[in-house]
Structure 1
């Protein structure tokens, strides 16, 4: 009798164990076959699809690289190894991805995958993350993606996508991260973005027009550098949460809003625009900010420097129309080691107040060449090659220059 009971217990345990380790859903298995058929490993030592063996009895949920399941359904699909030395995958992204109806994350690591982004992705309302970066995807961004109500992160950067940004981006209530950098997108930025957006990167495209009149107040990271945008920097004052702002290499004009010169905004890149007026006369930051960078170079800024930026670790004001002497606070900041880079070359500055015989830290990079100083105290040793080899401006340029 005891042997019969033991046999019954073992048999029951086997049945329950088999049910708890259910095989992948047949529709998901069929979708994975189609996805694999449309992609291939670029020859290398690390082959992503080496574990995708459909002839084996093993469950893909347990043995396929990049496949994560819940209750026998695929919930996360990561295509490619993601290793720095891997060339990634080639081929196209199959519309069969949309057959994985419980998918929450779709990730395609760097490779040479071509073709369009399947519009069918817009049917996967469970999707929270779409990251298809550093490939050769073409065509427009499917408008259907902007109907995914649960989407948190959309990263399509470093591809060859073209067309305009869909105006319905603000219809994504849960979107926090939007990265579309380094594509061929054109037209103007949408007038509205989701109010909870924290990270927006559209740099390295062909966008034109002005900045939207009102950006999400929650933004902490905003990059629209290296585009064709113009107009004044309006609406920036309300972005009090910004820690990173890059609007460099555009055609922005007018003054720099004083509200942008604040300690919380530790990375400010406005170089290579048509900005004019004075460097904002804001109050100096109360404390130095390690790692902070302010780059206002290659503009048309005029007037004398205030002490507003003495706490920045790296400060670039070169190639402007600045005049007068450099405030002593800047020299003191460099000597303390607070400011490690100070580029002032190619202006009309008349003095750099450093005492004869005083030395700057070996870690400091200070360039004051090609200004209106008869004998610049620092020479050219710390200047970049782009500064040229002339220590001072010709006298006629200095005598004839007016703000």
Structure 2
């Protein structure tokens, strides 16, 4: 459990200390989110992670001009994600993961020009990812895994040039994976899994970039209809490479080494398993 109320006695030109953060995590709190927090006009952070709260996000919070961080992970919030979140113009961090939100991703979120982190994973969201999200130019972390979306993986994700982490695991979206995503130069953590659609090889569509870019340390491309052989570039130094449950063929190189974890199950590979893979149980 973690409960913290942060104060700042020099944030305003008066003689008072003002609450700047309200963090109550893992207390099993029940009830609805309190709209009265809007009276704390200097609050920058609201964090109710791992509680038992239900309902939705109070519209009153939009009046909090200093509010930049909202985390409501692992609660029982439900109904549609409210479109009026687009009025929370100071937000840089929004995490609604592991709730019961349904309906579509509201296009109004595209108004959050300062947003750097948007996490919507593990809800019951449907529909396509709205084109309006392309307006968020500063995103560094976007995760929408474990939902019931439809349509294809949108091209506009490739326009988020600041992106460092992307999670599209079991979203319901279909491939092919847009080439522009594989060309994002700042990505460190790329996880795309369980997309249907046309087959494509690692050697084409720009996907080699995600294998050779040394900024990337986690590369999960599981069950996304990859075919062809695994190129030599795939064995560059990374932490994790997961290419499981695709349609890859060919042999594993005998003279390449890797660090940490490699997962290749569920393909159609042939030939001899290199001794390195047998001796090191981190290779699966």
TM-score interval (norm. to shorter):
0.7 to 0.9
- Of 248, 269, 274, the match for 1:322: 269
Distance 1:145 1:299, change over 3 A: same
- Determine the structure 1 residue equivalent to 2:12: none
- Determine the structure 2 residue equivalent to 1:303: 250
What TM-score, normalized to structure 2? 0.83
SS in 1 for 2:84: helix
Distance 1:47 1:174, change over 3 A: closer
Gaps of at least 5 residues in structure 2 are 10-15
Maintained 8 Å contact 1:244/1:265: yes
How many residues in Structure 1 have an aligned counterpart in Structure 2?
267
Distance 1:93 1:283, change over 3 A: closer
Distance 2:254 2:98 in 1: 39
- Of 119, 125, 128, the match for 2:68: 128
Maintained 8 Å contact 2:7/2:17: no
Distance 1:332 1:74 in 2: 56
CA RMSD in angstroms comes to 2.6
Between Structure 1 and Structure 2, whose CA radius of gyration is higher? Answer: 1
The answer as to 2:37 corresponding to 1:97 is: yes
- Determine the structure 1 residue equivalent to 2:195: 250
Which has the higher relative contact order, 1 or 2, with Cα contacts under 8 A spaced 6 or more apart? 2
SS in 1 for 2:174: strand
- Of 223, 226, 233, the match for 2:167: 223
Gaps of at least 5 residues in structure 1 are 1-45, 49-64, 344-403
- Determine the structure 2 residue equivalent to 1:273: 224
CA distances 1:53-92 after superposition (whole Å, capped 9, x unpaired):
xxxxxxxxxxxx63635434433222x3x3xxx5420111
The answer as to 2:153 corresponding to 1:214 is: no
- Determine the structure 2 residue equivalent to 1:350: none
How many angstroms does 1:268 deviate by? 1.2
SS in 1 for 2:193: coil
The answer as to 2:177 corresponding to 1:233 is: yes
- Determine the structure 2 residue equivalent to 1:139: 79
Distance 1:309 1:254 in 2: 26
- Determine the structure 2 residue equivalent to 1:76: 21
How many angstroms does 1:266 deviate by? 1.3
How many angstroms does 1:173 deviate by? 2.2
How many angstroms does 1:103 deviate by? 2.3
- Of 239, 249, 261, the match for 2:211: 261
What TM-score, normalized to structure 1? 0.60
How many angstroms does 1:239 deviate by? 0.8
Distance 1:223 1:193 in 2: 19
